[in-house]
Amino acid sequence: MGGSTESLGVNGPTPQDREKPTRSNYGFHSFRGFTWHQFTGTMSTGSLAVVLYQTPYQFSGLVTAGKVIFIIDLVFFALLCICICLRFFINPKQIVKSVYDSDQTHDEPFYLGAFGVSLALLLQCISLYGVPACGPWLVKACEVLFWIYFACILVVAVLQYQTLFVTQDFSLDSMTPSWLMPIYPLLVTGPLAGVLMQHQPHESASPIWICGIAAQGLGWMVTVLMYAMWAIRLLTTEIPPPVMRPSMFVAVGPTAYTITAIVALGSSASTGLPDPFLGEPPKAAAATIYVIAVVVGTFLWLFAFWFFALSAVAVALGGRKLTPNYAWWSFIFPNAGLTLATIQLGKAYDSPAINYLCSVMTGALFLGWLFVSASLLNAVRKGKLG
């Protein structure tokens, strides 16, 4: 898929320019059109596969549908990796430009995080769908891949923000939720740890549990700083133009995935805590930790929903001025996080009402994924992906 890298720009085209549907600068004929933005598609597809596996009230064929979505995501991810590697092979200078844009004409460097999140979701799907069918060797492989993944995203998060802090000079009125993207891979590390622990022996699960808690803490605290800037931007300047408003949903994800991580890791505390823990058996503390996790998750849930509601109203006000672009994937991935958070709380409270709500949210998410996929493919076919 090809598309303008300025469609979600930080200091790129003027709002008036952004609102005009423009023919894509790059198409299938040019690998220059493949950027980190496209990995928001694999983020969304992978998150849908995870939701389909974890949603309550399973019925015949739902897991099969999840497997199909997972395979689509895997193929999609592989194709994007090949295409972006060809882009860098044809023009090696694009490697630096894609992770550091010195003239600030587009926001592609922020979306490097989409690649990391896509990997985390693929690992979750491998554990959920693959381990039951493949056996112990895949359990060990997932453990090794988790530690490689965590080491890489931590280094990237430090170096990328260091580069942005030291070499860039952004103004608050240009702030968009895309500034959160470099920390997103850490925000999905907690949910990843919660999924992988389901099949790990205690000696492997305990370090993963501790790492998941720590990684989620770092991701959440950086997000709080970014939330403050986003609130200031909304209070002091107008909201983004309609074509960019779908990206406002990105702000839903950090809180939603933090809830998912806290509750999931809290429920597995008896497996994840070191033995002994503070001089006591893990089970003595596990129940208390789970209660605290559920209370914190409940405390944060309405905050995530508030961001969802703000974004939904802003998008609705944009009306017919919305045109297909990669920001439309923001309809899926962050809201998949909100669905997963609701699923975790539904399990904790054993509430049929919450579980039915989760089923409705899952259905809406699936239909949304079909709509966004069809809209973007149609825009690519017409060469109008702006």
pLDDT digits (tens, 9 = 90+) for 10-50: 333 344 443 343 333 434 445 566 788 889 999 999 999 99
Contact 11, 105 (CB under 8 A): yes
Residue at 104: amino acid letter:
Q
pLDDT tens digits, 126-142 = 999 998 888 789 999 99
pLDDT the model gives residue 253: 93
45 and 366 Cβ atoms separated by less than 8 Å = no
SS3 189: helix
Q: What confidence score (pLDDT) does residue 32 get?
A: 63
Tell the residue number behind the tokens 């198409």, with chain if given: 27
User: How far apart are the C-alpha atoms of 285 and 334, rounded to whole Å?
Assistant: 32
Counting Cβ atoms within 10 Å, is residue 172 exposed (0-12), middle (13-18) or buried (19+)? exposed
Whether the per-residue pLDDT at 6 is higher than 50: the answer is: no
- 78 vs 108 pLDDT, higher one: 78
Query: Is residue 280 classed as helix, strand or coil in its secondary structure?
Result: strand
Distance, in Å, from the CA atom of 22 to the CA atom of 3, rounded to the nearest integer, reads: 10
Domains of the chain: residue spans and CATH: 21-382 (1.50.10.150)
More confident residue, 181 or 188: 188
Of the pLDDT bands very low, low, confident and very high (cuts 50, 70, 90), residue 198 is: confident
Tens-digit pLDDT profile for residues 265-284: 999 888 888 877 777 777 87
Cβ-based neighbours of 366, under 8 Å, separated by 6 or more: 48, 52
Q: Does residue 9 have a pLDDT over 70?
A: no
DSSP characters for 337-371?
HHHHHHHHHHHHHT-HHHHHHHHHHHHHHHHHHHH
Confirm if 267 and 294 have CB atoms less than 8 A apart.
no
Please give the Cα distance from 78 to 87 (Å, whole number): 14
The values of phi and psi at residue 280, to 5°, are -125, 160
Mean pLDDT of 324-334: 89
pLDDT band at 235 (very low <50, low <70, confident <90, very high): confident
Whole-number Å distance between alpha carbons of 221 and 223: 5
